[in-house]
Structures are given as structure tokens and as C-alpha cells.
Structure 1
């Protein structure tokens, strides 16, 4: 199996500006993500940015980095530009690893690439993990997914899907224990076939995509099958807020 990893890294972020360069244990976050990706089976690991500061930090560390346009509406659009810059063929596989996942397990990078390679009828593959806390199920910042017996995604939503009609409609449900094995958190790692990326950028944003603010819904809206599987390793949450950054610094400590 052959694949490349691309780490989109934008400096601007509404909740935590400049987070790719945030120091975690003496290293910029984007460099920690890149080092995790280098432990996977990827042929190449690239950082894709629109900011000279990020470019310079990655280049100084000896990493492969590309300067991309600043007008991309989504990370998927940026990934397609990378595919063009690298001269990728239609059947090549690119894995998009979020630039705010400094503890991403290399095994899940290999897993999502392998899942796409093994399922020729799918244009995208991604991963999920069980939701065990009721608060997480009802948290709009945690994306949920449902999928069929073949691993084909049926939908992604910020809403608590699937809805337990027998429990969630009662006042006492808020404090009741959550059944395990019924709900799944979407993990934001994707493997794409380049042929799909080339089609994706020609489609206008879909109504459901805009409603939920979830770019994978553009592909589903146009009938692209997305493969979903439980992750083979636990994936620590990413860094979106100052509180997340403090938690990540505590987890990593002074590790080089």
C-alpha cells in the first residue's frame, strides 16, 4: 500500500489563533503532528500551509512543506491543490491529518489508508470511536456518525444521532447512563482518492454541508460513498481552545 500524508496548517483560527505554532513541550504543535505522521507507513509527509511563519518552522526542522493558496474554503480544497502540486495520479491516496492532533497514533493513519485501499467502491475513508458520555453525545462540537453493516456512512451530524426515542424524550433522560456501543464520535482523519478530490473542488458547497458546517457532507450530497470504521487505537482529542492546549501540554509534559 502506498500513500502520502498531508497536514493542512492554517495560522488563523477563531478560537486559538496561531495554534500550529503553539509550543508544546518545547516543540511547535505542527512539528509534533508531523513527527507522529513520520512514524506511520506513509511514503511522504507534507505540511500544507498558507502562512510563511509555519512554512519557515517546518522547513527549519527539515520537513517537507508546501505553500498553498489562502482562499481555500476547506481543508479538502487545500488537499486537492497539494495533489496537483505533487503531480498525483487519480488512484493515489492522500491521508489528511489535522494539524492540531499532536498525539495522533500512527496506527490509525495506516488504518484509514488501508481501509480506502481495500474498498475500491469508496472515494473517502474515515474513522470513529464509541461515545460513552452523555455530555459528549449532546455536544455540538463533537461530530457524530451512523453507518451501515458494510461500513458505509449514512450521515454525519453535530446532533445526537441516532435518537433514542424511548429515553431521550423524557425529562429524566439527561442524567441517565448512556448505553455503550450505540453512538459513535467521528474522528477527523480522512483518506481520499485523488480522483475524488478533483471532483470535489468542482462542486459548490452543499446545503447540508453549510447547515452542519461539515465539509464531508458535500461528498455525501453528491453520492460519494464514505467508509467508516472504529479506530484501532484511542485517538486523543485535538486542540481547538486554550483549555485544550493546556490539557495537551499537561499530557505531553517535557517530552522532546
Structure 2
């Protein structure tokens, strides 16, 4: 399905200073720029709408503005990234000119802009409340690893699933591909409003997966399938790996 040219989104990047495994993560330098600046670049390259950072610390705001970006301070006591995304959207777009809000995580400096668009594209169907992405799990360890969140869905197009469930277990069983869910979401504005107003659901609490809250509430989530595996940065080791990738791109630009 082709996304109409008139469809656009407000891209919001939640960024928090608190990280137990990698302190001051948004400000970690990669190729001379803070990580958050690289993520802004990726969001802009997706070309689906303006990009704003929802942050909880003036140092992040200063780094974003130094990079030419827009930042909004949000309440550090908000319970989740989704709440921070909604708060930032309300602050920068109170007139609701944008019907879609895309939550782009602030620790994916290598994400392919095509992956961002793949989460956005399902909302060209007015029946879809939330768009997200997944990629095929190609390692045997990944099929059984509970840290690989599996998307269980029914195919509705060449590279599209309608989500039926998300789980840390190996599912579905039997032969065939398994898909790893990537936590990037494009919400219709009304769906985001509803989502953050709902209490955590029973399956959400059992699986520790907030997207199950939306499914249990009857919202429709469609999944764009991508080939890449976006790497998130959670530890000093992850950071060094990403720095090495950027360095190799500079030394081998082709």
C-alpha cells in the first residue's frame, strides 16, 4: 500500500538522562556528535514530518538545540516513554495539525530511515490505530531468546502483518519464519490519547510488553516487515560497537 503524499507525522524522540547501564546516554559522543543528534538526523532523513525531542534534562535540551533541533522539556515523573511522547506532542502541536505521532527511540543512531517509514506506512489504512515494525529472526538462539520479542501476526500484504499478539516465548511453533518486534510506534493521535489513559493490562503485566495493552483494548496494530535489525545502545559495549561502525564508514565511505 502506498502512503498518500498528504499523510505526515510529528516524530517525537523521548530522551532521558537516567540510564543505569549507560549514564548520560543521549549525550554520549559518536563521531564527534551526541547520540541524540544522530537520531534526530535519522528521523529527519525519513522525511515524514518534523522532529522534536522530548527530554527531561536541560543538558539534553541544550545538546539538541546546539545540533539545530527542537526540544521540549517533559515531566521526569511521567510513567513511560509513551506518556513523554504524548506530552511533547501536546506542547508543540496543541492545535493537532498532525494526526499521527511517531515514537522514535533515542538510542538507535544507526536506524535506517526506511525502517522509520515502514512503521509509519500502515497508517495509510484508516482502520489501523498503530503502526510498528519487525524483522525476521535468522539465528536459532534468537528464536528461543526471551529478549527477542516475537510478533505473532497474520499476513495482509507482501511485507505487512496484522498483529495478533506479542510474546517473549517462541511463537508460533512449527515451521516458518519468526519475527522480532522492534519498538518503534506510529500512533494515530486519538489512539495515543487512549493508550496512555488506559491502566496496564493483565497480559501486558505478565509479558512486560506495553503494546499488549493496545491489543487488549481492541486497537489494531499493523506491522511493517523490514530487512535491517536496528541496533539500540544500552551499554558501554554497545556504544563502542556503534562508534566503531561510524569510524569504519568514515574510513571506507563507499
TM-score normalised by the shorter chain: which range applies?
Answer: 0.7 to 0.9
Q: Secondary structure at the match of 1:148?
A: strand
Q: Secondary structure at the match of 1:94?
A: strand
Structure 1 CA distance for aligned equivalents of residues 18 and 45 of structure 2? 27
Stretch deviating more after TM superposition (38-47 or 86-95) = 86-95
Q: Secondary structure at the match of 1:82?
A: helix
Equivalent residue for 2:12?
A: 6
Q: Secondary structure at the match of 1:154?
A: strand
Using the TM superposition, give the Cα deviation of residue 2 of structure 1 relative to its aligned residue in structure 2, in angstroms.
Answer: 1.4
Q: Secondary structure at the match of 2:197?
A: coil
Using the TM superposition, give the Cα deviation of residue 91 of structure 1 relative to its aligned residue in structure 2, in angstroms.
Answer: 6.7
Matching of residues 20-169 of structure 1 within 5 Å? 20-85=26-91, 86-87=93-94, 89=96, 92-116=99-123, 118-150=124-156, 151-164=161-174
Q: Secondary structure at the match of 1:201?
A: helix
- Are 1:205 and 1:218, in contact at CA under 8 Å, matched by a contact in 2? yes
Equivalent residue for 1:252?
A: 246
**Root-mean-square deviation (CA), in Å?**
1.8
Equivalent residue for 1:168?
A: none
Which of 212, 220, 224 is residue 217 of structure 1 equivalent to? 212
Stretch deviating more after TM superposition (186-195 or 16-25) = 16-25
Structure 2 CA distance for aligned equivalents of residues 241 and 93 of structure 1? 31
- Are 1:25 and 1:254, in contact at CA under 8 Å, matched by a contact in 2? no
Stretch deviating more after TM superposition (63-72 or 74-83) = 74-83
- Are 2:57 and 2:73, in contact at CA under 8 Å, matched by a contact in 1? yes
Structure 1 CA distance for aligned equivalents of residues 245 and 202 of structure 2? 39
Using the TM superposition, give the Cα deviation of residue 107 of structure 1 relative to its aligned residue in structure 2, in angstroms.
Answer: 1.6
Residue segments in structure 1 that go unaligned for 5+ positions in a row: 165-178
Structure 2 CA distance for aligned equivalents of residues 90 and 161 of structure 1? 39
Write the deviation string for residues 3-60 of structure 1: whole angstroms up to 9, x where unpaired: 1211110111232222111111111111111111111112210111111111111012
Write the deviation string for residues 78-128 of structure 1: whole angstroms up to 9, x where unpaired: 111122112153971111111010011112222321221x22111100011
Stretch deviating more after TM superposition (119-128 or 209-218) = 209-218
Aligned residue pair count: 239
- Are 2:121 and 2:131, in contact at CA under 8 Å, matched by a contact in 1? no
Q: Secondary structure at the match of 1:152?
A: strand
Structure 2 CA distance for aligned equivalents of residues 124 and 90 of structure 1? 18
Q: 1:90 to 1:196 in 2, by over 3 A?
A: farther
Higher relative contact order (CA 8 A, sep 6+): 1
With normalisation by structure 2, the TM-score equals 0.88
